[in-house]
Structure 1
Amino acid sequence: MAVADAELLVEVTGAVATVVIHNPARRNAMTAAMWRQLPEVLDRLAADPAVRALVLTGADGTFCAGADLGDLDELLDAGDASIAVEAEERLAAFAKPTVAAIRGACVGGGCQLAVACDLRIAAGDARFGVPPARLGLVYPAPTTRRLTRLVGPSAAKHLLFTSELIDTERALRIGLVDEVLPADRLAARVDEITSAVAARSQLTVAAAKEIVDGRADADRIAWWHGQVRASGEAREGVAAANERRPARFAWTPPVA
Structure 2
Amino acid sequence: MITTEIRDEVGLIVLDRHEKRNALDVEHLDALRAAVEKLAAAEVRALVVTGRGTSFCSGADLGGVYGDGFRVALYGALRTITALPVPVLAAVNGPAIGAGAQLAIACDLRVAAPSATFAVPTARNGLAVDPWTIRRLALLAGGGPARALLLGCENLDAEAARRCGLADRTGSLDDALAWATEIAGFAPLSLRYSKVALESLFEPEPWGPALDEAFDACWRSEDFAESKLARAEKRAPRFRGR
Offset of 1:192 from its aligned partner? Answer: 2.2
CA distance in 2, matches of 1:196, 1:165: 31
Aligned-partner residue type, residue 12 of structure 2: T
Offset of 1:215 from its aligned partner? Answer: 7.3
Aligned-partner residue type, residue 9 of structure 1: T
Aligned-partner residue type, residue 29 of structure 1: A
Matched, 1:200 2:186: yes
Q: TM-score, normalised by structure 2?
A: 0.78
Q: TM-score, normalised by structure 1?
A: 0.74
Q: What SS does the aligned partner of 1:66 have?
A: coil
Per the alignment, residue 199 of structure 2 pairs with 213
Aligned runs of 1:4-153 on 2, under 5 Å? 7-49=1-43, 51-74=44-67, 77=68, 82-153=72-143
8 Å Cα contact 1:85-1:142 kept in structure 2: no
CA distance in 2, matches of 1:144, 1:84: 15
Larger radius of gyration: 1
Could you list the runs of 5+ residues in structure 1 that have no partner in the other structure?
Answer: 1-6, 217-256
Give deviations 1:103-131, integer Å, cap 9, x for gaps: 11111111100000010001111111111
Offset of 1:82 from its aligned partner? Answer: 2.5
Offset of 1:191 from its aligned partner? Answer: 2.6
8 Å Cα contact 1:85-1:143 kept in structure 2: no
CA distance in 2, matches of 1:47, 1:180: 30
Aligned pairs, number: 202
> In structure 2, do the counterparts of structure 1 residues 96 and 215 end up closer, same or farther at CA, with 3 Å as the change threshold?
farther
Offset of 1:160 from its aligned partner? Answer: 0.5
CA distance in 2, matches of 1:207, 1:148: 23
Q: What SS does the aligned partner of 2:56 have?
A: coil
Q: What SS does the aligned partner of 2:3 have?
A: strand
Give deviations 1:122-174, integer Å, cap 9, x for gaps: 11111111110111102122212211221122221110012222211211121
CA distance in 2, matches of 1:71, 1:37: 15
CA distance in 1, matches of 2:28, 2:174: 27
Offset of 1:71 from its aligned partner? Answer: 2.1
Over 2 Å off, 4+ runs: none
Per the alignment, residue 232 of structure 2 pairs with none
Cα RMSD (Å) of the superposition? 1.8
Of stretches 113-122 and 198-207 in structure 1, the one that deviates more from structure 2 is 198-207
8 Å Cα contact 1:8-1:37 kept in structure 2: yes
Per the alignment, residue 167 of structure 1 pairs with 157
CA distance in 2, matches of 1:102, 1:197: 18
Question: Sequence identity, in percent?
Answer: 35
CA distance in 1, matches of 2:163, 2:151: 19
Aligned-partner residue type, residue 19 of structure 2: A
Offset of 1:208 from its aligned partner? Answer: 1.4
CA distance in 2, matches of 1:89, 1:31: 17
CA distance in 1, matches of 2:199, 2:10: 22
Give deviations 1:221-251, integer Å, cap 9, x for gaps: xxxxxxxxxxxxxxxxxxxxxxxxxxxxxxx
Offset of 1:188 from its aligned partner? Answer: 3.1
Could you list the runs of 5+ residues in structure 2 that have no partner in the other structure?
Answer: 203-242
CA distance in 2, matches of 1:132, 1:180: 26
